[in-house]
Amino acid sequence: MKTFNLKSTIFIVLLFLPIILNASIWIEEKKNDDSASCCSGGSEKKIGYKELIVKNGNLQDAVHVSDLNSSKVLVRDFDDSLANGKILDNFIEVATPNKGSYHIFFEQKNVENDVLNVVATTIRVYNKDANIQDSVLKEIRGRTVGSHYDKPPLKELDFEVVMLKPIRKHQINCCLWSGDIARFKIYYRGVSADKIPLKVFTQTGWNSFVQPGEDGLISFEIPRTTYEKAQDSKRTSEKMIVEANYTVDESGEYLGKQYSKIKYSMSMPLTFSSSPLEYSSQLSGFYVVIGVMLVFSLGIYYYRRKKKKEPKEIWFDEK
């Protein structure tokens, strides 16, 4: 009886382990300079190219995925033209000839237990060191009203998560900040899927399932990070992943293997920073404190000066 209970416990733990650990597959840019920001981009080994790696697991303990068989990489330029990326050994190389934003899509398929698993992920990268002449001016340095958002779903992908322009509480448009309202839509074969929730989890452990509204729009406020290591740093960034999953009963064959069901999964890694409003409010508070201290000090000074007794003159009458 004890052995049965032990086996049941192990089975349940293994079954829900990916959910507990926020396990997912995503891609991220290889950066030689860890201090590079979301606006400046990473330092490339070759000008006009980006190298990316595929990761699996949770944000805290992700592992590098080296098996990239049965996968494809698509690159969408800022003018919506598509190109294929290259899979070299255990990383991805994409051409980014012009200065601006590029959307990278990675998709991998495999059949297991009569189920076709279609795992996809997407990321937006910015190339700051390339040809500027053919670039769209509004894309340069991210000074845009959001032209890299609200992109139409790709017909090459059956299942896709699309990020819409976020609602901001400030005028800095290049990056995501805590307090912004992030908005998404999920598409299945080009049609909006209005009933699929979005899973969100951050690097510090916050996670949530966000249900779509009546129009299929999914929105949530980017939470304020705990900033455990931000005591000595004014600017702190944190990673976040959004992910959607969808299962359909559909039979077919892939690479000689039969399947009776298709499981779709798509993730999108994002990076957000502490809101600039936090620092502006802190700076205002600092100025207020300094002003109060100055007024208080001046008040004490004038009070003591007024109360200070002047020396009396003593006259002697010698008559």
Q: 38: which residues sit within 8 A by CB, 6+ positions away? A: 126, 174, 175, 176, 237, 271, 273
Tens digit of each residue's pLDDT (9 = 90 or more) over 148-159: 677 889 999 999
What's the rounded Cα separation, in Å, for the pair 270 and 175? 10
In this prediction, residue 23 has a pLDDT band, given cuts at 50, 70 and 90, of low
Confidence of residue 62 (pLDDT cuts 50, 70, 90): confident
How high is the pLDDT of residue 226? 53
Q: Residue 189: which residues within 8 A CB-CB, separation 6 or more? A: 158, 159
Higher pLDDT, 316 or 127: 127
124 sits in which H/E element: strand 115-127
User: Quick one: pLDDT band at residue 128, thresholds 50, 70, 90?
Assistant: confident
Confidence of residue 296 (pLDDT cuts 50, 70, 90): confident
Tokens of 168: 């901001």
How far apart CA 115 and CA 126 sit, in angstroms, is 36
pLDDT score, position 34? 46
Residue 92 contacts residue 132 (beta carbons within 8 Å):
no
Question: Which residues, listed in sequence order, are joined to residue 102 by a DSSP beta bridge?
Answer: 125
CA atoms 165, 166, 167, 173: torsion sign = negative
pLDDT number for residue 141: 45
pTM above 0.75, yes or no: no
**pLDDT confidence bin for 135, thresholds 50/70/90:** low
Give the model confidence (pLDDT) of 235-289 as tens digits: 577 889 999 999 999 999 999 999 999 999 999 999 888 766 555 545 555 556 6
Mean pLDDT confidence for 91-115: 91
Q: pLDDT above 90 covers what percent of the chain?
A: 36
Whether 115 contacts 263, CB under 8 Å? yes
Using pLDDT thresholds of 50, 70 and 90, give the confidence band for residue 145. very low
pLDDT value for 90: 86
Gap between the Cα atoms of 183 and 8, Å rounded? 40
- Written as six digits, the tokens of 140 are 């340069």
**Candidate from 156-165, 219-228, 235-244, 303-312 with smallest mean pLDDT:** 303-312
Distance CA 235, CA 248 (A): 43
